[in-house]
Amino acid sequence: MKWTAGKITYAYDEEQCTCGAALCVEACAQSVLDANEETDKMEIVNTVQCIFCKLCEEICPTKAISIQGALTLDDVVHERDW
């Protein structure tokens, strides 16, 4: 599955998801992700709530999640000249 919001692209490879989806679902504070008990895979249930924080990507042990174009906190802090 893949979706784009502006310049940010979120991609999820369901075949690569083999850990039971517990880590990414727990990491998502926005409730974008849920674990499907039947397939033991992660599901994206609310794309509108995603803030592209990349926590799910960083914690995924199988690298099934990829977020391209998202800003990190360091990017935002360094862009501002205060």
Mean pLDDT value across residues 3-21:
83
Q: Does the pLDDT of residue 77 top 60, yes or no? A: no
* In contact, 31 and 71? CB cutoff 8 Å: no
Domain 2-79 has CATH 3.30.70.20: yes
User: Hey, where are the domains in the chain?
Assistant: 2-79
Mean pLDDT value across residues 25-51:
89
Model confidence at 53, in pLDDT bands (50, 70, 90)? confident
Left (φ > 0), alpha (ψ -120 to 50) or beta: where does 55 sit? alpha
